[in-house]
Structure 1
Amino acid sequence: MADKPTLTTSAGAPVPSNEHSLTAGQRGPVLMQDYQLLEKLAHQNRERIPERTVHAKGWGLQGTFTVTKDITRYTCAKLFSEIGKKTEVLSRWSTVAGEAGAADAERDVRGFSLKFYTEDGNWDMVGNNTPVFFVRDAYKFPDFIHTQKRHPKTNLRSPEAMFDFWAAQPECVHQVTILMSDRGIPKNPMHMNGYGSHTFSMWNEAGERFWVKFHFKTQQGHKFYTNADSEKLIGKTRESYQEDLYNAIENGEFPKWTLFIQVMPEEDALKTPYNPFDLTKVWPHGDYPLIEVGELEMHTNPENYFQMVENAAFSPSNIVPGISFSPDKMLQARVFSYADAHRYRLGTHYEALPANAPKAAQVNHYHKDGSMRFFTNDFGNPDAYYEPNQYEGPVADASVQEPPLRIDGDMNRYGNAQEVDDYTQPRALYEMFSDEQKQRLYSNYAAAMGPVSQGVKERWYAVLEKVHPEYAAGVRKACEAMDSDVNAVPITSETPTDAEDRNTAPDTVKAHDEVPAK
């Protein structure tokens, strides 16, 4: 048997024993000078970092993005500069509401985040498996998340709080319809789409700006679990997503997604009948068709989950020249809140951790000291620790400045001062569902709304009524049947293809993330 390496302390000193405490006599007591014991216990106490406030349970892989189509007319971002170009990518998928120990197969929105290690620094696409979200203004986001977490008295999840909030915010109905549909429990991340959800911007070498939406379409096809399937699976394992992902990679079955973008000329934002920066809205594909960009392939299980997935810190603030933000209110807030959450959870210099460290040729900045200063950043010139300086320290590059963003209007808290149509798009989505899909939608609502008070149910029925009378009637009937313990709406494990996959819907309505063109 070959000699094994010597066990050492974290300071590099050899350790005489990793089994027996230093004691006074055979029976003890233990001596306080056994610093190796104290260090081992102290480190164990700190092996768990604070879990994410949302998206706490997650799974990740490493892979590659390859450009397949030329989109340089829309962006000067170097990762899209030529067909065939490859960029390393770190992915993390997650559930939104559950804690770190939640079951993978629960009904919930899924996070879909990607970190592209580009030559110009990291670009993070921090999205979900849905093209819209529950609210359009970040002022409401903390309150929404409170409804998804545990009740302060019972310490249990509260359907009453969820539907009470949703009923007071009709803008939620688009996202809730997706959540309660078949796509509310994807079989695993390989069988779901990913969306940037927000409106972003790109600009080209000529300084022309375009508004864009990012769509990562699964090449594995959409598969889902019903409530009955999910309950049965969770009874066997709470780690089904991790098992599926890990085993697929180990078996050489590498999942792939095709990246498409929707592109809107800058001036069109003034002409659309909807606000193109509203996170509760989608852009009709008939007006802004999908444009293929490239292929994402995830092919590697991280050697250390904690290092590369738990320590991963994705933030919409990580952009590269050629890609930027939009007036989307939720996006504007996330640009701050995500990075700030990482500083709290991981530490001041979280971006120097292996999962987050850029692979660009140069990484130069003037951030100093603080917790986790485990690296040098003096660029070989310790006198250049401020800017401007006379010591040839790094300076800004005006050539990567994005073109001016046109804005107009008076400062105000606009809220609902203007009429917003929150019902047309979810109506189009509902009308695309087959009869079987609608029946499962009703059943899923009944299961979710069982503990909800009648008053809150009535308020939610009123919201659904504005979407479609049949929608409201179907959910009401299913809930009443559930209340009387009558299984009036059967739940099956059959997995019919949706309108997108059957391709039988009208050309302007082929996917769950589309509405008819105006």
Structure 2
Amino acid sequence: MAQDDTSANHQDDKQRDFSLNKSDGTNKFMTTDHGVRINDDNNWLKAGERGPSLLEDFIMREKITHFDHERIPERIVHARGSGAHGFFEVTNPIPQFTKAGFLQKAGQKTPVFTRFSTVAGSRGSTDLARDVRGFAVKFYTQEGNFDLVGNNIPVFFIQDAAKFPDLVHAVKPEPHNEIPQASSAHDTFWDFISLMPESMHMIMWTMSDRAIPRSYRMMEGFGVHTFRLINEQGESHFVKFHWKPKLGTHAVVWDEAQKISGKNPDFHREDLWEAIDTGHFPEWELGVQIVPQADEFKFDFDLLDPTKIIPEELVPVTIVGRMVLNRNPDNFFAETEQIAFHPGHIVPGIDFTNDPLLQGRLFSYTDTQLLRLGGPNFHEIPINRAIAPVHNNQRDGFMRQEINVGRVSYHPNSLGGGCPYQAKISQGGFSSFNERVEAVKVRARSESFSDHFSQARLFYNSQTEVEKSHIVRALRFELGKVDTTAIRLRMLGLLSKIDENLARQVGKGLGLPVPDKLERPINEGVRAEGSDAQQPSEKQISYEPSDALSMINNPTVKPSIETRKVAVICADGSSGENITDLKITLLKNGAKAFIVAPHLGFLATDDGGELPIDFSFLTSSSVLFDAVFIPDGGAQSQLASDPDVVEFVQDAYKHCKVIGAMGASAALLDSLTKNKAIEDDPGLISGDGGTASIERFIEAMSDHRIWERETILTN
């Protein structure tokens, strides 16, 4: 019988070794994949120096064959991503709710790998598309792998997995011309949405700034579905999972996102890598919303509906632990690309509900991994391996790596001593919750899933006026890319069910009136087999606005400039004292300054010193920074006539960023901001560059953006 020999089969939870005959550089001889040393890697074996290449050259055939097969099918969705290693630490154990071993003791650590991603675009698309962001965490627990596969938005477009292929087909590039890439701003997507009122809550989120985060490190994560927690007594509680970022939730503006896509399409991936590489480890708190089994039907919405949230005012989020990402991958393909997440990877103490979207995902994820990673043994790829001992009767198949010994690969058996044994529940064996189900087989949608507008209205009403204006502009942009007028009109009709003023503002931008009533029929999904499509419920549930749904009013946002980047605009003769003081003060606050000048090389300061230049205006842009600082200096006036500088500062001003201009440079702001009324702008800081002015600059930066500036810009 195979034994749980911890010395041979178990790795320390705190550090995973993903190596498989990993080269550490100590063996300097080049070899084939089978260890044969190579004498010449530069020339194919030929019949004579100028003769034909020979097929017998097994060395070059192996090399070319591997190259030909280096690319695996990319993920259908979530193709473009970035990931990192880290750990999860329990801060508030919850054994009263779950018997999951990794949530039992304060201070207990579990290794994790987390992957962030966009959804619609291909691997080669931009990080800054308006899109949902994937937020998937693999916990390598002592009881097996647990995958918390979620997004940065807590709800989804559809209620039933049967519509998932349709949703993805609609949002992907249109099949006749493969346009547009990584964008929902086209006819097929909005045609689908305009016929699916259940999507309207998700549309409010994706048209908000949540869909264009400042970084992966500054966005929330959600498990989306309602899961179950099971304790040692077999008691069930419903649970929603939340990730709360240490740095708060922040976004960019849409014009900025489009420009970042051109300047640096790897903006988010680079940001995550650099933060970890420089020791600014990203951190999130894991929170749970717990609902007792007895309260399943106490709400005005259905807990199993994936297009609904549980408002935090109804069920507060309880923090149970923290996740820290502290190590970048050694190899992007081997780890980030080959990692296989699956919502069906759960451990004892966590279980599923009858959420119809979740149920479909339980099938789909395994099916896609079989194709993408070559067969049923994708769990043996190092990044996917469990740290818990693995004993079962699975053998063979493509890419099998483990060498199993013995003659027995079935159960029950006597020839192998009956091993491996089935574990009793008391021995940690997984057991599904004993939910009583009595029903007839139907293709149907519960009546409790029919309210599609109340929570969409809750989200919209919870936004600040600035955030509402961003939603209006996003809808104008997206629907303005739609060529079919009927689709635009249908969308205006649906928006009017959320907020009449919202619909009118969007309609004004499209040059269209808001329809008096919804177009009939609208496909809401079949509620009963064989019946006609039903109309959305007219039920109106009244919710009080929730600060937790606003990025600006969100209580998790903490004043901080940690990891922010400041562009210091300079010309030869800039104040060396101003620059040095700023750099020192920013570093003390966890931020960093970068010198941007008309040329690369070194900057000659006014005190006769030299400072290395980080970027030229040609290789940079204000959209890649969080704030702009212009030091004092007699030669700074020449910058006002440089069109690159003008664009740099005007973009920063337009995107509501803090701008500090010291001494003589303060006079530049009038011309560089197009003579707007700037005297009352709290984000325009002037002074002599000393301690007081730099402190005011940093204080203003801690607010992330000066949103009141948008009022000036629109007047």
More RCO (CA 8 Å, sep 6+): 1
**How far, CA to CA, are the matches of 2:233 and 2:26 in structure 1?**
63
Pairwise CA distance, 1:502: 8.8
Which position in structure 1 is the counterpart of 2:15?
A: none
Among 54, 61, 76, the residue aligned to 2:99: 76
Q: Distance in 2 between matches of 1:454 and 1:312?
A: 43
CA contact (8 A) 1:132 1:279 kept: yes
Partner SS, residue 298 of structure 1: strand
In structure 1, what residue type is equivalent to 2:420?
Answer: P
Distance in 1 separating the partners of 2:502 and 2:424 = 54
| 1:449 and 1:457 in contact (8 A); partners too | yes
Q: 1:447: which partner in 2?
A: 477
Higher mean Cα deviation, 436-445 or 242-251? 436-445
- In the alignment, does 2:411 pair up with 1:387? yes
Aligned 1:37-48 pairs, distance under 5 A: 37-48=60-71
Write the deviation string for residues 80-130 of structure 1: whole angstroms up to 9, x where unpaired.
011110000000111110001010111100000000000000000000001
Would you say the 8 A contact 1:364–1:377 is kept in 2? no
Using the alignment, how far apart are the partners of 2:146 and 2:552 within structure 1? 32
Q: Name the counterpart of 2:144.
A: 121
- 1:99 is aligned to 122
Report the CA distance between 1:272 and its aligned residue: 2.2
Cα pair distance change 1:433/1:253, threshold 3 Å: same
Give 1:402 deviation, angstroms. 3.7
The answer to whether the aligner puts 1:222 opposite 2:249 as a matched pair is yes
For the 8 Å contact 2:161–2:360, the answer to whether it is kept is yes
Instruction: Write the mapping of 1:33-432 to structure 2, written as runs, cut at 5 A.
Output: 33-157=56-180, 159-346=186-373, 347-360=375-388, 362-378=389-405, 382-390=406-414, 391-392=416-417, 393-399=419-425, 400=429, 401-415=431-445, 420-432=450-462
How far 1:286 sits from its partner (Å)?
2.2
Shift of 1:407: 2.8
Contact 1:426 1:467 in 2 (8 A): yes
Shift of 1:70: 2.1
Match of 1:464 in 2: 495
Aligned-pair CA distance for 1:319 = 0.4
* 221-230 vs 292-301, greater mean Cα deviation: 221-230
Give the aligned partner of residue 23 of structure 1.
46
Instruction: Supply the distance in 2 between the matched residues of 1:419 and 1:302 (Cα, whole angstroms).
Output: 42
CA contact (8 A) 1:71 1:80 kept: yes
Q: Give deviations 1:340-364, integer Å, cap 9, x for gaps.
A: 111111022001111110001x211
Looking at structure 1, the residues matched to 307 and 69 of structure 2 have their Cα atoms a distance apart, in angstroms, of 40
* Residues 33-42 or 70-79, more deviating: 33-42
Paired amino acid for 1:462: G
Q: 2:83 corresponds to which letter in structure 1?
A: G
1:23 to partner: Cα distance: 1.8
User: Residue 203 of structure 1 contacts residue 402 of structure 1 at CA under 8 Å; is this kept in 2?
Assistant: no
Q: Quote the Cα distance in structure 2 between the aligned partners of 1:204 and 1:39.
A: 53
* Count of aligned positions: 484
Change in Cα spacing, 1:147 to 1:34, as seen in structure 2 (3 Å) is same
User: What is the SS of the residue equivalent to 1:467?
Assistant: coil
1:317 maps to amino acid: G
Deviation of 1:28 (Å): 2.8
Tell me which moved more, 140-149 or 3-12.
3-12
Q: Does the CA-based 8 Å contact 2:135-2:151 persist in structure 1? A: yes
Indicate whether 1:500 and 2:554 are aligned.
yes
Q: Any conservation in 2 of the 1:65–1:295 contact (CA below 8 Å)?
A: yes
| Offset, 1:416 | 6.2
User: What whole-Å deviation, never above 9, does each CA across 1:401-425 have from its counterpart, x for those lacking one?
Assistant: 2441233433211236566111111
Instruction: Report if aligned partners of 2:281, 2:325 keep a CA contact under 8 Å in 1.
Output: yes
- 1:291 Cα offset (Å): 0.9
Structure 2 counterpart of 1:437, from 460, 467, 479 = 467
Instruction: Report deviation, 1:3.
Output: 8.8
Instruction: List per-residue Cα deviations over 1:61-80 (Å, max 9, x = no partner).
Output: 00000000021110000000
Structure showing greater radius of gyration is: 2
CA offsets, 1:413-451, max 9 Å, x none? 123656611111110110111221111111111211222
Secondary structure in 1 matching 2:37: coil
2 CA distance for matches of 1:434 and 1:338?
Answer: 38
The code of the aligned residue for 1:151 comes to E
Aligned to 1:9: 32
Distance 1:75 1:3 in 2: 47
How far apart, CA to CA, are the structure 2 residues paired with 1:500 and 1:417? 33
The amino acid that maps onto 1:228 is D
Q: CA deviation at 1:497?
A: 5.1
Q: 2:509 aligns with which of 450, 455, 478?
A: 478
**Matched residues, percent identical?**
37
Residue 332 (structure 1) shift: 0.8
The corresponding residue for 2:615 is none
> Aligned to 1:270, what secondary structure does the other structure show?
coil
In structure 1, give the amino acid aligned to 2:74.
E
Letter of the structure 2 residue corresponding to residue 449 of structure 1:
L
Runs of 4+ deviating beyond 3 Å: 416-419
How far apart are residue 270 of structure 1 and its match? 2.7
Q: What is the DSSP-based 3-state SS (H/G/I as helix, E as strand, rest coil) of the residue aligned with 2:243?
A: strand
Letter in 2 for 1:384: V
Moved more, 413-422 or 146-155: 413-422
Greater shift in the superposed pair: 362-371 or 407-416: 407-416
Distance 2:443 2:345 in 1: 27
The residue identity in structure 1 corresponding to 2:471 is L
What CA distance in whole angstroms lies between the structure 2 residues aligned with 1:254 and 1:425? 35
User: C-alpha offsets along residues 482-506 of structure 1, whole Å, 9 cap, x if unaligned?
Assistant: xxxxxxxxxxxxxx95221499xxx
Unaligned runs of 5+ in 1: 482-495, 504-518
Distance 1:419 1:129, change over 3 A: closer
C-alpha distance in 1 between matches for 2:407 and 2:45? 47
Could you tell me how far apart the structure 1 residues matched to 2:354 and 2:27 are? 58
Structure-1 separation of matches of 2:460 and 2:467: 9
Of 434-443 and 275-284, the range deviating more from structure 2: 434-443
Secondary structure of residue in 1 paired with 2:96: coil
Verify the 8 A CA contact 1:445 1:479 in the aligned structure 2.
Answer: no
Question: Structure 1 200/497 Cα, relative in aligned 2: closer, same or farther at 3 Å?
Answer: closer
- 16-25 or 136-145: which moved more? 16-25
* Equivalent-residue separation in structure 1 for 2:119 and 2:432 (angstroms): 33
Match of residue 509 from structure 1: none
Equivalent residue letter for 1:98:
G
Kindly state the Cα deviation for residue 24 of structure 1 after the two structures are TM-superposed: 2.2
Task: Please tell me the residue identity of whatever aligns with 2:421.
Answer: V
**1:126–1:316 contact (8 Å) kept in structure 2:** yes
AA at the equivalent of 1:111: G
Shift in CA distance, 12/4, structure 1 to aligned 2, threshold 3 Å = closer
Distance change >3 Å, CA 3–CA 375, structure 1 → 2: closer
Alignment partners' CA distance in 1, 2:448 and 2:370:
37
- Change over 3 Å in CA distance of 1:68–1:473 after alignment to 2: same
